[in-house]
């Protein structure tokens, strides 16, 4: 019983500070792979859409955004990059990470990226599937 109380006390105030993010969207750019001695990284932009409805007017609006995603893998296990292709609908699970650098002009730059633990292809809803070509009648030989 005391161990549980101690554990709760140690975590008090930190219960909502978990950095886990799950995002679904379409891969918007051709993924770029960079290989290093023991690991490789794949980076791509994920297009996501957020819908909101005005409480006053009831009007629904949507806004699209691009999120930079990067996923690291050991060079012995690069099969996790196989599903990452432009145009695919994927679900990305990971953590938000700061990315800082100095630009060529000497200015300090920063952005938030999504560091992916997993990237899985998601089946598209039927409403987003391309229509299938209708079967053409076969020509009858005379």
Domain boundaries along the sequence of the chain? 19-125
Instruction: Report DSSP state, residue 105.
Output: T
Higher pLDDT, 28 or 139: 28
pLDDT tens, residue by residue, 86-129: 999 999 999 999 999 999 999 999 999 999 999 999 987 776 66
Distance of CA 123 to the CA centre of its chain: 15
Q: What is the pLDDT of residue 82?
A: 85
CB 91 within 8 Å of CB 122: yes
Q: What is the pLDDT of residue 77?
A: 84
pLDDT tens, residue by residue, 4-45: 333 334 445 555 668 899 999 999 999 999 999 999 999 999
Q: Name the CATH code of domain 19-125 (choices 3.40.50.1860, 3.30.70.260, 2.40.50.140, 3.50.50.60).
A: 2.40.50.140
By the 10 Å C-beta count (0-12 exposed, 13-18 middle, 19+ buried), 137 is classed as: exposed
């Amino acid at each position: 019983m005391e161990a549980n109380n101690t554990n709760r006390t140690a975590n008090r105030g930190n219960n909502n500070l978990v950095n886990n993010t799950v995002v679904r969207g379409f891969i918007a750019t051709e993924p770029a792979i960079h290989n290093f001695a023991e690991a490789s990284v794949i980076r791509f932009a994920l297009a996501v859409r957020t819908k909101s409805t005005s409480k006053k007017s009831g009007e629904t609006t949507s806004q699209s955004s691009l999120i930079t995603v990067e996923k690291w893998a050991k060079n012995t296990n690069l099969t996790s990059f196989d599903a990452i292709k432009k145009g695919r609908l994927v679900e990305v699970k990971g953590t938000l990470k700061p990315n800082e650098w100095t630009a060529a002009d000497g200015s300090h730059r920063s952005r938030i990226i999504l560091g992916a633990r997993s990237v899985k292809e998601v089946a598209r809803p039927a409403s987003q599937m391309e229509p299938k070509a209708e079967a053409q009648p076969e020509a009858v030989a005379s």
